[in-house]
Amino acid sequence: MIRFDNVSKRYPGGQEALSSVSFHLTPGSMSFLTGHSGAGKSTLLKLIAAIERSSRGQVIVDGRNLGKLPKRQIPWLRRRMGIVFQDHHLLYDRSVFDNVSLPLIIAGYKPRDIGRRVRASLDKVGLLHKEKAMPVTLSGGEQQRVGIARAVVHRPAMLLADEPTGNLDPQLSHEIMQLFVQFNQVGVTVLIATHDIVLVKALRCPVLTLEQGRIAHSADNGR
Amino acid sequence: MLYFSLAKLLASPLASLMTVAVIGISIALPTASYVLLANAQTASSDWDANARISLYLNDLSSADADALLGQVQAQSGIAGVAYLSPDKALEEFREISGFGDALDALDNNPLPGVIVVEPQAGLSAERLQALADSLNRLDGVDLAQLDVEWVKRLHAILRIIRRSVTALAALLSLAVLLVVGNTIRLDILNRRAEIEVTKLIGATDGFIRRPFLYGGIWYGLLGGALALVLSGTTLLLLREPVAQLASLYGSAFRLRMFDWQLAVLVLGGGATLGWLGSWLAVGRHLKRIEPR
């Protein structure tokens, strides 16, 4: 589903953020990406989402070589994935419902289907009763769950998460991880970038560890 | 989506209102000028059609004047004649001029009798001149005066005004374009975060562009509607004084308002300018916003 072949990424004028990274995530797998901040986790996720392009090597997502993907094809690639951000990236001038419905509106779903799917997605993260609320009135954990609901509402094949539990207490972090596990169980390929080692160890998933832009260690973590 | 973009506009009513007001005033100015110009052209073509020949008579008895009237009527190319006796002319002059007391001081009536000849409509300038010349040769006619010179001058002036109105309209259209473009530019910058997020979740450029284009159309449409209200109000205010002026010239001319074709043109033109302005702004600024 996601394959990196000797991928390097050098920012203009800066040092290499990623050096010769290779790995392969099979469809339906769930993996962690760990490493200290600055190790290249965010860069790696950005390459998958075509926010950045690799300087060298091939990034193949869903059978497409992103290096050769025309710019106007990028929206369709991104519709195949759901992205969860550390700082939620919610739109604060509209309700929870409108935030979660955005991917469906973009993809041109019918209004009736939108209502049904948004509520199913909010129900999944336990926020059905908050659909009319504005995001600012929610706690950090609730906002993160809205972000997750938005990332999965269009039933993507891949789910990418960048520090999804970054600002949350252990109890909430655990609940959110359980959500990711549930999505994985219905066949979604999940990749979670986190520096929370405790959380990683609690789940028996493959782990990619980045150190100064290189894969330092690739463990199966017992599965 | 069109409705949604209107709701966005209404979310910040004051800023939107200011933009709409600037657009409205910019469009109202050429609109009102155009309507006044069209009125002036109608009025002048009325005068054109009934170019009159005034025959100032020698001192004739009323019987002689009647005989002359018959002679004039017998000429070809004449639609109608009217005789204004010296006494009636004096009476009219007294009424209109306000020199009543001064006239009382005169021993006798200084005004000549006048025959006003209305030529048939559609005569060429040369035919009119020939008619005036032949009338001038009649016995008892002191002077036959054909008033076309001032009509020609008026037409020349109207042409200058028409050019000026066209230039004004072009300049103010450009102003509308810039105002809408700048408003949309600010709107884009304010919604930078939103644009980044929607791009991240797979929105195409077309999808992101659409609400801004619709916003531009709304600005233009509302500005056009405001322009109609403003220019309509101005024309209504001018109506009464114009009617008074016309009656002073003995004309039943009334200021005409814009017709529905012009109203549609103003609304459509406003919407088009708004769309074009936002299209230019979106093309320039949306490309620079990419998620990081």
Over residues A143-166, the pLDDT tens digits come to: 989 999 999 999 999 999 998 887
Residue of A76, A79, A89 lying closest to B197 (CB–CB):
A89
Task: Test B200 with A72 for CB contact under 8 angstroms.
Answer: no
Average predicted confidence (pLDDT) for chain A: 88
| Residue bearing the bigger pLDDT, A47 or B65 | A47
- By the 10 Å C-beta count (0-12 exposed, 13-18 middle, 19+ buried), B187 is classed as buried
| Residue bearing the bigger pLDDT, B242 or B124 | B242
What is the chain A residue with the closest CA to B207? A106
Task: Test B200 with A150 for CB contact under 8 angstroms.
Answer: no
- By the 10 Å C-beta count (0-12 exposed, 13-18 middle, 19+ buried), A198 is classed as exposed
C-alpha distance across the termini of chain A, in Å = 19
Distance from CA of A75 to the nearest CA of B (A): 4
Q: For residues B247-260, give the mean pLDDT.
A: 82
Looking at beta carbons, which residues of chain B come within 8 Å of A75? 199, 202-204, 207
Looking at beta carbons, which residues of chain B come within 8 Å of A159? none
Choose among A106, A26, A8: nearest CA to A63.
A26
Interface list for A 44-83 with B (CB within 8 A): 49, 51, 72, 75-79, 83
Whether chain A has a CB inside 8 Å of the CB on B190: the answer is no
What is the chain A residue with the closest CA to B1? A105
Over residues A64-98, the pLDDT tens digits come to 899 888 988 999 999 999 999 888 889 888 899 99
Looking at beta carbons, which residues of chain A come within 8 Å of B204? 72, 75, 106
Distance from CA of A105 to the nearest CA of B (A): 9
Whether chain A has a CB inside 8 Å of the CB on B287: the answer is no
Task: Test A79 with B198 for CB contact under 8 angstroms.
Answer: no
* pLDDT for position B1: 52
Domains of chain A: 1-80+157-223 (3.40.50.300), 90-155 (no CATH)
- Report how far residue B250's alpha carbon sits from residue B247's, in angstroms, rounded to the nearest whole number: 5
Looking at beta carbons, which residues of chain B come within 8 Å of A78? 199-202
Over residues A95-137, the pLDDT tens digits come to 999 999 999 998 889 988 999 999 999 998 889 999 999 999 9
Q: For residues B216-231, give the mean pLDDT.
A: 94
Choose among B209, B177, B190, B187: nearest CA to B287.
B209
C-alpha distance across the termini of chain B, in Å = 27
- Report how far residue B228's alpha carbon sits from residue B271's, in angstroms, rounded to the nearest whole number: 13
Domains of chain B: 2-47+151-285 (no CATH), 52-146 (3.30.70.3040)
3-state secondary structure of A162: strand
Whether chain A has a CB inside 8 Å of the CB on B203: the answer is yes
- Report how far residue A164's alpha carbon sits from residue B19's, in angstroms, rounded to the nearest whole number: 42
Under the banding of pLDDT at 50, 70 and 90, the label for residue A222 is very low
- Report how far residue B75's alpha carbon sits from residue B136's, in angstroms, rounded to the nearest whole number: 12
Residue of B194, B196, B200 lying closest to A78 (CB–CB):
B200
Q: For residues B180-196, give the mean pLDDT.
A: 88
Whether chain A has a CB inside 8 Å of the CB on B102: the answer is no
Q: Between the CA of residue B222 and those of A11, B127, B280, what are the distances in Å? A: 47, 52, 19
Q: For residues A176-201, give the mean pLDDT.
A: 89
Whether chain B has a CB inside 8 Å of the CB on A106: the answer is yes
Q: Tell me the angle at which helices A96-106 and A140-152 cross, rounded to the nearest 10 degrees.
A: 20
Residue appearing with tokens 């990418």:
A160
Residue of A49, A79, A91 lying closest to B197 (CB–CB):
A91
The sign of the dihedral angle between the CA atoms of A211, A212, A215, A216 is negative
Over residues B25-49, the pLDDT tens digits come to 999 999 999 999 888 887 776 665 5
Q: Do residues B190 and B285 lie in contact, with contact meaning Cβ atoms separated by under 8 Å?
A: no
- Report how far residue B187's alpha carbon sits from residue B198's, in angstroms, rounded to the nearest whole number: 16
Buried b (16+ CB within 10 A) or exposed e, B140-160: bbeebebebeeeeebeeeeee
Task: Test A76 with B202 for CB contact under 8 angstroms.
Answer: yes
Residue A223 has pLDDT above 50, yes or no: no
Q: Give the strands of the sheet with A30-34, arranged side by side.
A: A81-84, A158-162, A189-193, A30-34, A207-211, A214-219
Looking at the DSSP bridge assignments, the partners of residue A60 are: A3, A65
R_g over Cα of chain A? 17
Buried b (16+ CB within 10 A) or exposed e, A184-193: beeebbbbbb
Under the banding of pLDDT at 50, 70 and 90, the label for residue B213 is very high
Q: Between the CA of residue B50 and those of A200, B43, B158, what are the distances in Å? A: 98, 11, 19
Looking at beta carbons, which residues of chain B come within 8 Å of A91? 193-194, 197
Q: Which residues contact B231 (CB under 8 A, 6 or more apart)?
A: B28, B29, B31, B32, B35, B258
Whether chain A has a CB inside 8 Å of the CB on B207: the answer is yes
